[in-house]
Structure 1
Amino acid sequence: MFSSLQCMAASWFFLFLSIFCSAAAQRSIISQNSSLTPSGNSSWLSPSGLYGFGFYQIGSGYAVGIFLNGIPEKTVVWTANRDNAIVPRNVTLVLSSDGSLILQQSQGQDTVIVSAGERILSASMWDSGNFVLYNSAQKIIWQSFDYPTDTLLPGQHIKADQQLYSSASATDQSTGMFRLIMQQDGTLVLYPTGAPNLPPYGYWASNTSNNGVTVTLNLRDDGYLYLLKDNDTIISSLTNGGYPRERTLYRAIVDVDGIFRLYSYSLERGKNWSVLYLNPKNKCDPKGICGLNAFCINQDTEIQCICLPGFDFISRDNMSSGCERNFTIQGCKSPKESLNFTIAPLDNTVWENAAYDTVKTSIREECEQVCLNDCNCEAALYKDGECRKQRLPLKYGKRSLGDTDSALVKVGRLGSFTEGGLSFPPKKELRLDILIVSIALLAFSLVIFAVSGVLIHIKLLRDNKNISSHKNAELINNVAPRAFTYAELELATNDFKEELGRGAFGTVYKGTLMNFQKLVAVKRLEKVLTEGEGEREFHNEMTAIGRTHHRNLLRLLGYCVDGVKRLLVYEYMSNGSLADILFAPENKPNWAERIRIACDIARGILYLHEECETQIIHCDIKPQNILMDENNCAKIADFGLAKLLKHDQTKTFTAIRGTKGYVAPEWHQKLPVTVKADVYSFGIVLLEIVCLRKSVDWSFPEDEAILEEWAYDCFQAKELHKLVGDEEIIDMKKLERMIKIAIWCIQGDPSLRPSMKKVLLMLEGTVDIPIPPNPTSFLSSA
């Protein structure tokens, strides 16, 4: 044992001896008249060769700086004259005889790289990454550690009022869009470059104070990043440290995207830099990341910049360049200026408030009109009854799902806009030749349309005649559903022999259209309109439903009206229902398939709520009403039946679903039922998809039997792994995202539930998801 301790002590002695020798070697002198060239001896290396000072290549030019020479990627940690750094190949870097560090060019023009304030006798590149200049007394008169660019290295510190500036890009070391400053008040803050040191402009802060004592930001060689008072008191630890010291490199940097990160690199493994710490966590928090007149949205691990409505990117290759108008605005010249414009709203977006006027308004529509009536108003920010009129450009935009802010942008009436932005034709001068050609083309088009209209009308008359007489059983795609006789459907289903399933609305049978050998599903309805209420009304309703075509809706092929008998003919789904897939042990889908199925269902419901001709509330979203085709694409069934039911069917439906299931609470409370009822049902189905179990299952322990309650308990306790058990490895961040979406959907208060459009955006990872409240809190307070 004693011998082992002796060996260990000896090992440590030689280790410290080698470190001491390296430290001594750091003072190997770069003497006067030493020189470097880009194509020859291009750098002065530190004793170990880990760091180098000299030329590194940028495109076709070169810059002078400090870089890691001992790893495959020459990572730059400091750049001289960073905003005017690029020099040609025919330059020489010289520690001249008159005691200055200069760049000499062939034309005789000299550029001073470092001004030390007194004569430089020698220089040295240290293994710490610090480049040092000495005077004749061998005293340090300048060092790169005192003039950081974007990087903090171990042993270096950022003093009060010192700043790190991000680089412009990964290949351009000039000053970028963001800065980190150690303020006099002891707070470390991230700001946009050019913004004042005031709280509204900071997008991350350490929330520390100095109580009159100087504070510095420090990095240790074990990855410990901390704030230190000048009395050697640590006031804040950004990392815990304790990482490997040997053969491991660390650097803290304000990255191009405005995030302050601490990286490590193992010289043993030689892998890429890995992130140990970062702030802020939200990549859209850095103010101005998308430039002027653009806002930032999160897309999983990446961000996307979107222009204001009516604007296009100045440079598609550089989204942070911002956006400019793609239409012309006339200002205040016309007395009816407001008639030329409309308002394009952007909900859940936050911007810098630079209002020139603020008006109290009770509703957002009033704010829109206030801006339209003011020719100087180019946009307005509306929140909490305040309408803040703005002039362009708008700055620091980002989408924030938890905020109620709305940006109201004034745009020309010519364009049709979507949430992402507007597209307007550029304004051009009127040319007579173009006008004549346009009129001729328009006239020719009208003739073609007229002839086509006549031919289409004749064809429709012929088709209607064939359908009414039942002489042609052809099933035509992309037209309204055709009418069948009861006898035809009896024959197709072999007298309703093979039953596929039963539901609240009737029984479904498998059938075959004999003329085409096409498999169909025939649903025989119950409790629908009686004969006295009109065959024409049922026919019109079927035609309307048949026009709702979407890849995630089950297609209605035809119908039958025979006395009181009502039957519907649907396309046949070979893979059964979602319930067959979720709740059968042998068919359970993997995680990626589950996410795809959830998105399919959301797209189908969104179409019913917002995109078809007449809004449809499904009223019965559940796995049994979601069918799967041969490609396992989810299709919503029975989406039109709510329009066909008797008036008392709603009460019957509610009574059947009296226990916790898929029905929103407002059904039981006799409150008005809106599309948010479908959102609630989707939330329950989403939980079932994620957890691969039924929403109510008393085979589980009592505290786990009701899935929506158990899921929220697991979410609060940060034990989401319990919901998926021992199945395949799942990305816990994605699991948390799905559970948060589901909890928002099943909120007891319908107004808190997101629209299906927002649900789909959340599923696709394009928006942030705030922490949801307890879904039963509204019910308990009601």
Structure 2
Amino acid sequence: MGSFLFIPTVFLPFLLFILVSGGSFSEFIYPDFSASYFHFIDNAGAFLSSRNGTFKAAIVNPDANQHNFYLCIIHTASNTIIWTANRDASISASAEMNLTAKGISISDDDGNPVWSTPQFKSSVSALLLNEMGNLILLDQFNHSLWESFQNPRDTIVYGQHLPVGSFLSSTLSNFSTGDYKLVLSGSDAILQWHGQTYWKLSMDTSAYTNSDAIVEYMAINGTGLQLLGRNGTVVVIQVLLSPSDFRIAKLDSSGKFIVQSFSGTDWKQEFVAPTGDCQIPSVCGRLGLCTASTTHSCSCPVNFLVGSQDTGGCVPSGSYSLPVPCNSTDNGSQLNSPAVSYFRLDYGTDYFSNIFFDPVRYGVNLSTCQDLCSKDCSCLGIFYGNSSGSCYTLKDVLGSIFVSESAQNDRLGYIKALVGSTPSNFSDNKNPSRKKFPVVALVLLPFSGFFLLVALGFLLWGRRGQSKKRDIKLGHFGSLSSGDMDAVYIPGLPRRFDLEELEVATDGFKTLIGSGGFGVVYKAVLPDKTVVAVKKIMNLGVQGKKDFCTEIAIIGNIHHANLVKLKGFCAQGRQRLLVYEYMNRGSLDRSLFGTGPVLEWQERLDIALGTARGLAYLHSGCEQKIIHCDVKPENILLHDQFQAKISDFGLSKLLTPEQSSLFTTMRGTRGYLAPEWLTNSAISEKADVYSFGMVLLELVSGRRNTLRLQSHSLNNSGSGGGQSSSSSVSLLVYFPLFALEMHEQGRYLELVDLRLEGRVTSEEVEKFVRVALCCVQEDPTLRPSTNTVVGMLEGGIPLGQPNLESLNFLRFIGRGFTEASMIDEGTDQNERVLYPEAYASTATMDSRTFFSYISSQQVSGPR
């Protein structure tokens, strides 16, 4: 580069023009240099190239139908723009970019500047485009004065850091800056629209948290997307992706954050957030109602109409108008308006910001919440929770609303509207549908009312007769009033089934397919031929219908590929039934411990990963954290291709306080219970991590963690005559301790299910065992999060090293309190206590037989 610096400045533009015209590009240009699209039209506007041609700088027209040109950095192979200088101020094909000792400036045809770099203390000596796509201004000492990487637009690439405090902003179709931003905070990456949050990376099901360190920057690399801290040495949050040589992360014009990789000639989309279109704040325009399906659909809520081309979105029907923002010149119309009204939205609708912002007030009534909004010119509407008295306000700008798939409690929306007529024409501000009646209507109203009353009488008479017939039909299920379920309304509930429907679908509850602590499960076929599983809930005591329905609304609106979907419910009389999707391969215990075809190692890995991902979603991906409390093979169901799905999640919330006596059977299963359950310590999601670790060990061995070995003969000397008798001993194996012993010795293959016959490597088994031992550590704070477990199983996070001191309790259980049962063959099955010390010196027992032992009373439990 030094030789270029001695070339007389006057010849540089001419020399560069010759190089470019001849098809050769330089990675450097020097002051004084000018370029326009016309100057380099033969090279499609390109005037600068990185050393190996991976990127180029050009003045281009992104849309051939427009006459707007921009200074851009382009990924050459894909012809993708990764950075734009003047995206809010286009120029013509003849307008120029100039490089001087002061920096870069772009001017219009009249010479007026439209974009420039800031002022510098040193003079610019060169402009460099490097192989990462970074455009850099250098001083005479090759120090960076300015970089395009430090001034991001809508995209970041390999090698680029997006530091805390900076952001990406979307680009509109006309190349101007959009309303969406990806903001990086010290703990998360956040998508915002007009300052309102609508997505967080930490809540995404594909992301997992590795550390509580403070985030310093975001980057993408060959393994995925990462938020890093401590000078890049600690991964705080990570999204693991398939290995790739080149990928970009972009905030799309639609408001979605997309990561995609380039291979050969095609882009492959690897990650997109949010996944649902209805989560985008303005997907249906202002106050448009978004309904999710295969492709989302937009409509206007009840009492709203499609606005004009000027207003857009939806507007109130009748002589009402929406208020304007405080900073508008027309906001006086709101303050001087004769009245403020509120249009109520339908049940089951919600607004994106309610998920991410706390209410402005708690424990107030609806009138108080509306008054707060009426007195604030920035407030455009409210959402109010009837049961909690929570008041949420919608401020400054209104986006779309959506049909909620995870509606919280009984939150209802009210949109602020200005009454266009005098207050006397609108006597009830809570009923916007009331309007002034014409005289003709007043004359006809008595006659219309008479006919309406007659029709209503016939309708009620008919319903009364149907109700009586229905009560007789249901007979032994208990007497139900005609309004049994209508009296309870909880937004977000899944489909309601009648008890009669489910009785027909199950053929009178005929085909039993499972049972557990919460009840029994039957196979059912719905009228549309859909096969489902119907769980009849038992032992719920006097659980109130509304409480039950509130919990079901939460459970039913949790959707994840590794969670069994709740399709519906029934709550009639004292009956409580849940309708789930049918899992055709049954529960994991049948495939793992049964006599059918052996699960191959890859299938076990898929099951472990699926289960961990499902738990990670329950713990950190839901609006409301859910602790499963009973993770075990019986609650892990298998679908096609052995896809694992967790069942019975959230059901522990259905217990009432007086049911604490059901603690051991309803809140977990012995053998999978974390130690803190037994010591009355605080219970967190780490209790599920412990249970998962126990399941992981069972996946390794293909057997229960507590298992009776085949009988061994022992000679017992008689106390009187020196005679000996042969008896058979049945030993109870405690596999977690044996796994710890083999881990300490590095003998992982000795732990593997014998049926796999060498079809697994020691390294693969080591991964399972180390992850499992990390999960079952006695101290909950030492156990990894389920997000970290997913990362270790996938390979994106290094395997943890279990703390042996925190695993000593396994030795305590397996040796200090061990008693094995010794059963005399041919006797009445009397049990005798046998301590492990009796076997500690038995040299004839190999490592597969020399397990540690524990009493069945201590480790077994209801299945």
Give the TM-score taking structure 2 as reference length.
0.45
